[in-house]
Amino acid sequence: MPGHPRVGVLALQGDVREHLAMLARLGADASTVRRPEELARVDGLVLPGGESSAIDKLARAFGMQHPIRTAIADGLPMYGTCAGLILLADRITGGIEGQETFGGLDVVVARNAFGGQTESFETELDITVFDGDPVHAAFIRAPIVVSVGERARAIGSLPDGRVVAVEQDNLLGTAFHPEVSGEARFHERFLAKVRERR
């Protein structure tokens, strides 16, 4: 149906429900994706926050790694939050032994980049591609983008310059969780990419 893009949330582990609720609120036809057949039915995919090493292992166990990599190469719009950003990164640091990513996003991401007391925090961020109010961002054992390659671009940074939001063609990634703070603009931007591609 026009105006109701079919999108999926990768539902192997992580905060799947929050993304489904946000996408439904924005008028998308959102469903969980665990299997290749389900991936084949959606026009875009959200990779949720959670534990990237667990999602990686489960994706391989469910035969999803190859289909997701193919979908990324085909230009399927994807939005990764936190663990999802880690999974989209071409390279990571601080992964567990043998941890892999789907890749596609030309960045290096450091896992668990905030230690001790700042493991979880909230802050306001200016996002270069949004007009209006700053984004209220919740960081939970969050990663940081330590290097942005030629194909990707930084769209949001902490006051000290560390990059926490990136975009590259149909891929969008944030180190924080807009779905838990009710910030809808990233999901809207993802849905715009989905509509454009259809």
181 in contact with ligand GLN (CB under 6 A): no
What is the distance in angstroms between the CA of the first residue and the CA of the last residue of the chain?
A: 11
Contact region with ligand GLN (CB under 6 A), list: 3-11, 50-58, 70-78, 183-191: 50-58
C-alpha angle with apex 28: 27 to 30, nearest 5 degrees? 135
User: Pairing mode, if any, of strands 163-168 and 153-157?
Assistant: antiparallel
Contact region with ligand GLN (CB under 6 A), list: 19-27, 45-53, 69-77, 123-131: 45-53
Q: Which is nearer to ligand GLN, 57 or 193 (CB)?
A: 57
Q: Which residues, 84 to 143, sit near ligand GLN by CB under 6 A?
A: 86, 111-112, 140-141
Please, what is the minimum distance in Å from the beta carbon of residue 16 to ligand GLN?
Answer: 12
Q: Which is nearer to ligand GLN, 93 or 112 (CB)?
A: 112
Cα–Cα distance for residue pair 13/28, rounded to 1 Å? 21
Q: Which is nearer to ligand GLN, 53 or 168 (CB)?
A: 53
Cα–Cα distance for residue pair 68/78, rounded to 1 Å? 10
Catalytic residue among 18, 167, 177, 187: 177
Look up 82 and say whether it is catalytic. Answer: yes
Beta strand extents in the chain (DSSP E only)? 6-10, 29-33, 45-47, 78-81, 89-93, 105-110, 120-125, 135-140, 144-148, 153-157, 163-168, 171-174
Look up 100 and say whether it is catalytic. Answer: no
51 in contact with ligand GLN (CB under 6 A): yes
The residue type of 8 is: G
Please, what is the minimum distance in Å from the beta carbon of residue 57 to ligand GLN?
Answer: 12
**β partners of residue 153:** 167
Residues that bind ligand GLN (CB under 6 A): 49-52, 82-83, 86, 111-112, 140-141
Catalytically active residues are 82, 177, 179
